[in-house]
A and B are shown apart, each in its own frame.
Chain A
Amino acid sequence: GEDVEQSLFLSVREGDSSVINCTYTDSSSTYLYWYKQEPGAGLQLLTYIFSNMDMKQDQRLTVLLNKKDKHLSLRIADTQTGDSAIYFCAEIITSGTYKYIFGTGTRLKVLA
């Protein structure tokens, strides 16, 4: 099946690190993405990782991929109030026709 699961809520204090987790079920995924949705806005691509990579770092963002466990995580260092948003992981399955599967989204609340 093609399911991407995330925990629904995460609350952290400003300055702490946030870790948002995602599990996926389709091992044929070539690319995995993290998107951010701010209130009242569309989704914005944050970062992505190729399935042959274990880790990718991009400024305050670190993406970790464990292909064996089909687990993806997004770590935000020094979390700021502006990071409060919904974060979606997504996979684009490219075997046959393309399918874009998004997770349920994790609502991150940053407390001042």
Chain B
Amino acid sequence: DSGVTQTPKHLITATGQRVTLRCSPRSGDLSVYWYQQSLDQGLQFLIQYYNGEERAKGNILERFSAQQFPDLHSELNLSSLELGDSALYFCASSEGTGGLLEQYFGPGTRLTVT
């Protein structure tokens, strides 16, 4: 158990819909990272937040957005969903940011878009 929790575990929704994935970091960790893992794209870094501020941005689509709240939990919002958005979405957390990082990964949320 990494100490990172993600809800829900599974999500099935239809194209065009909007969903919110939630992540609670390990106690004391200030950074939260979001990743998308799909069969055709592999593991892609989406975005990082550090203490409430956006810190780094990867291959995140404009239809996707994220935020980190004062209690440090984070939400990833996916809108206008397409079939290709079906994937495993991982959240990771780390104590700091920059330099040598050890990111602790959550168990993931499996999103299926039908």
Contact = CB atoms under 8 A, between A and B. Distances in A.
Contact of A100 (B4, B58, B108): B58
B56 A99 contact: yes
A102 B58 CA distance: 12
Interface residues of A, number: 20
Contact of A42 (B2, B56, B58, B101): B2
Interface residues of B, number: 26
Interface of B: 2, 4, 33, 35, 42-45, 48, 55-58, 90, 92, 97-103, 105-108
24 contacts: A31-B100, A40-B107, A41-B107, A42-B106, A42-B107, A42-B108, A43-B90, A43-B92, A43-B105, A44-B105, A45-B102, A45-B103, A48-B100, A88-B43, A92-B101, A98-B55, A98-B97, A99-B58, A100-B56, A100-B58, A102-B43, A102-B44, A103-B42, A105-B42
Interface of A: 31, 40-45, 48, 88, 92, 94, 97-105
